[in-house]
Structure 1
Amino acid sequence: GGETCEYDLNIKAAFASTSTAQWTILVYMDGDNDLEAFALGDLNEMEAVYAPGDVQIGVLLDRAPGYDTTNGDWTDTRVGVVRHDNNTDVISSVLSSWGERNLGDESTLADFIEWGMTALTADNYALILWDHGSGMYGAMVDETNGGDYLNTEELAEALSDQPDTLDVLAFDASLMAQVEVMEAVSDYVDYFVASEEAEGGDGWRYTELYRELIQRLPLTPAQFASGIVQNAETNSSLVTMSASDTSSSAGLISSIKTFVDAVLANATQSEWDAIFEARDAAPAFAYPELRDLGGFMTAVAQYVSQADISAAATAVLTALDTTVVQNYSSFHAGGTGLSVYLPDVGDTVFNRYERLGFAEDTGWDNFVTTLVAQSPVDRSTAARDWAESNDLRSTAYGLGTVSGYGMVYTGLSIHQPDNQDWYRFTLAEAGSATDEVSIEFTHADGDLSLSLYDGDGTLVQTSAGSADVESISLDGLAVGQYYVLVTGASGVVNPDYTLGFDAPGETDDWAEGAGGNDAQNKASPISADTPYGGLSILGSDLDWYQFYLPRAVDVESVVLTSTFDSSQAILQMQLYDEAGALLASSTPTATGATLTYNAPTGQAYYVLTMRSQQLGADPEDDFVPYSLEVAEQQGDPDLNEAPTATAQNVTPTAASSYEVTLTGTDSATDSGDLTYAIVDPGQYAELQLPRISTG
């Protein structure tokens, strides 16, 4: 008739393609645990992207009972091709059931890769492993199958039994950018992409990532891997990500073997003391025994005077730089791309470590076994502060861009005579006559000096007086990066000093970012056991932070500590879960506020910091600086009290056998047998208690 009908016309124009796709992306999604809801969300993110014929996306998704009841609430394992749709709540892809499969079994992964390479042939293949991660300890925890997981050897076995080499292996999982893991898979993949640090529960942002990659087609494997890292830089759930070229890994492994040989052949006690200090200086991640490889070798090269050891450490740095082709690390994380296993003095070496190919090829198991047997250097003169380890300019603690009046960092110390504290900061505007950097301390407790360096490491000025304050003007300094060095005069220690800035520009803190962090969905990512300074509340500001507790056997609770001037204002912290439910609130202390919560691992948590009471000037104009730390409390997981154990006398149960029974009790469970072993007389039975998953 004569009526006008309005409608929308959508045209999807495919890229020009050949008969074979350029890329097949295979995503192995282990949602058979407490990440089920995140798995469904990420699959919906993938469906939101229209993939041209040159890109195929295959997925294996395993679900769990009891976590998420949407999208049919099925709990088996299903496989299929990702289908485009714009509904972010409903899974539209047609997935075929494989029954209940164990994603912690290498055969399931091998079958999925074979399916993808057969059904979705392409010139290039990328495999993304999606789940919890624990570095060399393993990943892909399957709760339906008894919490089984893929260890490093099983992962390599699954990859070895394939008709074609993977161009890219990437982990949307925590802590997997470890040199031991990369070495294990280096014969079967061309590029290795992973994060040194724990990831937030949201993980990757697949809609943005896939769109960016598709827009850049055609892509080489190197460009594909680097694109993942570049996308991570815009993702608030990620603080590290790197891409490594496995074709260069042989040179890196060889250089590490040379380093181990040099240490074991030449190290005296003084060298071992220096190596221990270097281990301490290297950036640590969610598991403290995982240390940044580059940070460690940089510290060794500076701390160790023995020529062969120092030269070998420098050679490792050169090889590492060749291997890591793209790296992102937030200024707090300090990662150079790959971590390495470095247990502390007195620790027990991981009982499967010697089975790893990395240990066999480098002798690193012998190195760490010797390291943990050393006597630690005495640090009893003062406590190490939250900004450690920052003894080198290359490992300077990153303060980000400093701006505004009265930005302070409290709770710092020169904890031993040879301690040096380096800090890195950026000026976004040129300095003026009212701008300065300063330290405040009690001179009688130990005289300190303050030095300022430019971005190239050239000394600008030093302040070394005899008062309780040292200050250096920022007047005339251009926009750019600078360094501050705090040292004890004549080798003294000082248990407490404050670093402060009056800097050009408006008052701000680094965590605000471009869009602020005043809502839960804009929370700034932080890491457990990493204190953060340079934070501030201005007026009625709200500051949200997100941290993630990876699955670990020894985390019982978290302790949140906020430090601020309680004579100026009272700040309060509140802890929330991912759904926005309030879990706990802080209580005031003499120096700030504290909060303790028995936190299950394998989850993301959110911290809200806000003003609860004003004691000073107009709250809308009042600037309250503070620091924040989330500390993991060690203990037995998910128990309200520590368990007790009883040892029973052994009694014969057979002509030549003995039975040993361990019994454990706690306030939350009934008494019960934990494990037992039958051994012959005169023989030893070793009971291995593996690193297990909780939560």
Structure 2
Amino acid sequence: MKKIKIIQLFAAAALCSGQAGAQNIDFDNLPSIMDITAQASQIAAPAPQAVRVAQEPAPAQTSAPKEWTIMVFMNGKNNLADYILKDMNEMEQVGSSDKINIVTEAGKMAYTAPSNPYNDGWGDFPDINPWNNYYMHPGWPPAPSFNTPSTETAETPSVDSWVGVRRYYVQKDNDTSKLGSLLVEELPKTDMGDWNELVEFTRWAKAKYPAKKYMLIVWNHGDGWITKSLKISLPKGISYDDETGNGITTVQLGQALAKIGGVDIYASDACLMQMAEVVYELKDYAPVIVGSEETEPGDGWDYAAFFSRLTSSLTPTALAKAAVEGYAASYSAKGQAATLSAIRTRNADNLRGLLDQWVTLAMAQDKAKLNEALRESTGFKGADSRDLLHFLSITGVKLPELQAKGAEIASLVSSMMIKNAPVGSTYKNAGGLGIYLPYYSFDDNYSKLAMSKTGKWDSFIKWMTDKEPAAPTAPAAPTR
């Protein structure tokens, strides 16, 4: 969901050929994740030591696995706690079926919004918008608990005013005042910012509700790959647990997906996660990735709009399109700008290779014009993230030597894109995939990512953020 943990950027001024491409591949018949062999044996991920308390027996499973199990890891142990009930009620408008299991791990904590809305309780710096002083994050504060009186007061307790972590099998139910789904387990104290808990939940769901294909949605705040706080030297990514102060880094997210043997679709109901760096980190464990380039509004996904679009065609492509189209329709109806896209990861290595070739060419060009292109390209709130295709398009105009390679990259990204649905004129140039492109300084944590270890984009950023003119050097030979 939504959901960026408030990001702090101190800015002094306004911001500013290899063979690759589409292949004749039948993406509607991607292999089941059961065919994916992840090199997971090298990754130590002990399951959290906790006793699982069963509340009610889960529905008996038929001998044949269903077509899909959709697993939603709903970490509401932060200022999103009040959205758990809302989003699960959206899921219940459709519910599980004879073809689809929908299961959740939902965590809630008692949350009181701080008197200073610019401080999120992590001791972080205030948000600074270099374009317009302070800004309020679109997912902050959650409407049910900040300006609107809560319906879950001591005088009128709600049956769903619980706190803790629970697992549900989502069933159809039209009563939006409470949850009608089957409570399968109530867990002891659980750290939902620990990637091991994500592994534990997904393994449990796969074992208890077997299916031919699996979709995993992580529901929480997100920062792309970016460090959450200038005070915290960690490359945070998603799933922040305010009780423990932990979050799952992009590297850990890749480790988690490897440990569970991958999924057919990975999705982030969270802010800023649809970045090239995240796609590259997860490429070996998720053939399809769904996420937002921009911050998500507080409501996040409309699960009723998503699930109601699932028809007899249950291919990974169909599910991914349904998620994006449902999201876009819900925010279009509200007149609210938003972004969401679904991308295939099959050609992520080719994309990285083409970017390396582009970097080799770009670092022999006029840095001032490249910085102009950076400032003019579509950017996203608080993450030093720019739209990749828009940036390449502008650089091609300013520096014709880069035009052909930029067009080659754009063609490849277009072939990878299942659905891109930006809503509103603000995002008319959002092409569906962001990339790290800071104007002021390079974050050393970026070097920990797989894309940095195998590619040249980090070298390009270091060169771009070095404001001192460098002596010209001959470009290195392209590598594959």
Please confirm whether the aligned pair reaches a TM-score higher than 0.5, indicating the same fold.
yes
Matched, 1:355 2:448: yes
Q: Is the 8 A contact 1:64 1:75 kept in 2?
A: yes
Report matched runs for 1:416-495 at 5 Å: none
Using the TM superposition, give the Cα deviation of residue 238 of structure 1 relative to its aligned residue in structure 2, in angstroms.
Answer: 5.6
SS in 2 for 1:36: coil
Matched, 1:256 2:355: yes
Question: Counterpart in 2 of 1:135?
Answer: 224
Q: Aligned partners of 2:442 and 2:221: how far apart in 1?
A: 23
Which amino acid is 1:166 matched to?
V
Q: Aligned partners of 1:118 and 1:318: how far apart in 2?
A: 40
SS in 2 for 1:244: strand
Matched, 1:160 2:293: no
Using the TM superposition, give the Cα deviation of residue 95 of structure 1 relative to its aligned residue in structure 2, in angstroms.
Answer: 3.8
Matched, 1:275 2:365: no
Q: Aligned partners of 1:136 and 1:178: how far apart in 2?
A: 8
Q: Aligned partners of 2:294 and 2:257: how far apart in 1?
A: 24
Cα shift readout 1:417-461 (whole Å, capped 9, x = no counterpart): xxxxxxxxxxxxxxxxxxxxxxxxxxxxxxxxxxxxxxxxxxxxx
Matched, 1:120 2:217: no
| Structure 2 stretches lacking a partner, 5+ long | 1-61, 113-149, 153-157, 227-236, 470-480
Matched, 1:51 2:150: no
Report matched runs for 1:496-515 at 5 Å: none
Q: Is the 8 A contact 1:203 1:238 kept in 2?
A: no
Identify which of 131, 152, 176 aligns with 1:88. 176
- Label 1:111 to 1:238 Cα distance change in 2 as closer, same or farther (>3 A): farther
Report matched runs for 1:156-555 at 5 Å: 156-163=254-261, 165-213=262-310, 216-236=311-331, 239-264=338-363, 266-267=364-365, 271-287=366-382, 289-305=384-400, 307=401, 309-330=402-423, 331-333=425-427, 334-344=429-439, 347-374=440-467
Q: Aligned partners of 1:18 and 1:202: how far apart in 2?
A: 37
Q: Is the 8 A contact 1:127 1:166 kept in 2?
A: yes
Cα shift readout 1:116-149 (whole Å, capped 9, x = no counterpart): 1111111111111111111112111101112x11
SS in 2 for 1:123: strand
Q: Aligned partners of 1:28 and 1:113: how far apart in 2?
A: 9
Q: Aligned partners of 2:160 and 2:103: how far apart in 1?
A: 20
Q: Is the 8 A contact 1:209 1:231 kept in 2?
A: yes
Q: Is the 8 A contact 1:254 1:362 kept in 2?
A: yes
- Label 1:73 to 1:260 Cα distance change in 2 as closer, same or farther (>3 A): same
Cα shift readout 1:649-687 (whole Å, capped 9, x = no counterpart): xxxxxxxxxxxxxxxxxxxxxxxxxxxxxxxxxxxxxxx
Using the TM superposition, give the Cα deviation of residue 335 of structure 1 relative to its aligned residue in structure 2, in angstroms.
Answer: 0.5
Identify which of 154, 162, 165 aligns with 1:74. 162
Which amino acid is 1:358 matched to?
M
SS in 2 for 1:144: coil
Question: Counterpart in 1 of 2:3?
Answer: none
SS in 2 for 1:44: helix
Cα shift readout 1:502-550 (whole Å, capped 9, x = no counterpart): xxxxxxxxxxxxxxxxxxxxxxxxxxxxxxxxxxxxxxxxxxxxxxxxx
- Label 1:310 to 1:218 Cα distance change in 2 as closer, same or farther (>3 A): closer
Q: Is the 8 A contact 2:393 2:403 kept in 1?
A: no
> Percent same amino acid among aligned pairs?
27
Using the TM superposition, give the Cα deviation of residue 278 of structure 1 relative to its aligned residue in structure 2, in angstroms.
Answer: 1.2
Q: Is the 8 A contact 1:257 1:361 kept in 2?
A: no
- RMSD of Structure 2 on Structure 1 (CA): 1.8
Using the TM superposition, give the Cα deviation of residue 348 of structure 1 relative to its aligned residue in structure 2, in angstroms.
Answer: 2.2
Q: Aligned partners of 1:185 and 1:29: how far apart in 2?
A: 20
Cα shift readout 1:462-497 (whole Å, capped 9, x = no counterpart): xxxxxxxxxxxxxxxxxxxxxxxxxxxxxxxxxxxx
Matched, 1:30 2:75: yes
Identify which of 15, 39, 42 aligns with 2:84. 39
Identify which of 245, 248, 257 aligns with 1:150. 248
SS in 2 for 1:314: helix
Report matched runs for 1:7-22 at 5 Å: 19-22=64-67
Cα shift readout 1:75-94 (whole Å, capped 9, x = no counterpart): 22111311222110111221
Using the TM superposition, give the Cα deviation of residue 311 of structure 1 relative to its aligned residue in structure 2, in angstroms.
Answer: 2.7
Which amino acid is 1:248 matched to?
N
Q: Aligned partners of 1:278 and 1:315: how far apart in 2?
A: 18
Q: Aligned partners of 1:245 and 1:50: how far apart in 2?
A: 27
TM norm structure 1: 0.49
Q: Is the 8 A contact 2:70 2:216 kept in 1?
A: yes
Q: Aligned partners of 2:315 and 2:373: how far apart in 1?
A: 38
TM norm structure 2: 0.70
Q: Is the 8 A contact 2:85 2:160 kept in 1?
A: no
Q: Aligned partners of 1:18 and 1:224: how far apart in 2?
A: 24
Q: Is the 8 A contact 2:442 2:462 kept in 1?
A: yes
Question: Counterpart in 1 of 2:59?
Answer: none
Question: Counterpart in 2 of 1:431?
Answer: none
Which amino acid is 2:67 matched to?
Q
SS in 2 for 1:335: coil
Q: Is the 8 A contact 1:260 1:362 kept in 2?
A: no
SS in 2 for 1:39: helix
Q: Aligned partners of 1:104 and 1:171: how far apart in 2?
A: 15
Which amino acid is 1:250 matched to?
D
Cα shift readout 1:556-593 (whole Å, capped 9, x = no counterpart): xxxxxxxxxxxxxxxxxxxxxxxxxxxxxxxxxxxxxx
Q: Aligned partners of 1:76 and 1:318: how far apart in 2?
A: 47
Identify which of 188, 195, 219 aligns with 1:99. 188
Q: Aligned partners of 2:189 and 2:358: how far apart in 1?
A: 46
Q: Aligned partners of 2:176 and 2:63: how far apart in 1?
A: 31
Q: Aligned partners of 2:467 and 2:410: how far apart in 1?
A: 25
Q: Is the 8 A contact 1:232 1:238 kept in 2?
A: no
Using the TM superposition, give the Cα deviation of residue 50 of structure 1 relative to its aligned residue in structure 2, in angstroms.
Answer: 3.8
Q: Aligned partners of 1:365 and 1:247: how far apart in 2?
A: 22
Using the TM superposition, give the Cα deviation of residue 66 of structure 1 relative to its aligned residue in structure 2, in angstroms.
Answer: 3.2
Which amino acid is 1:32 matched to?
K
SS in 2 for 1:240: coil
Q: Aligned partners of 1:105 and 1:37: how far apart in 2?
A: 21
Larger Rg over CA atoms:
1
Q: Aligned partners of 2:189 and 2:225: how far apart in 1?
A: 26
Aligned residues: 348
Q: Aligned partners of 1:332 and 1:103: how far apart in 2?
A: 34
- Relative to total residues, which structure has the larger strand share, 1 or 2? 1
Which amino acid is 1:117 matched to?
K
Which amino acid is 1:318 matched to?
S
- Label 1:115 to 1:46 Cα distance change in 2 as closer, same or farther (>3 A): same
Cα shift readout 1:356-404 (whole Å, capped 9, x = no counterpart): 111122211111011011369xxxxxxxxxxxxxxxxxxxxxxxxxxxx
SS in 2 for 1:235: helix
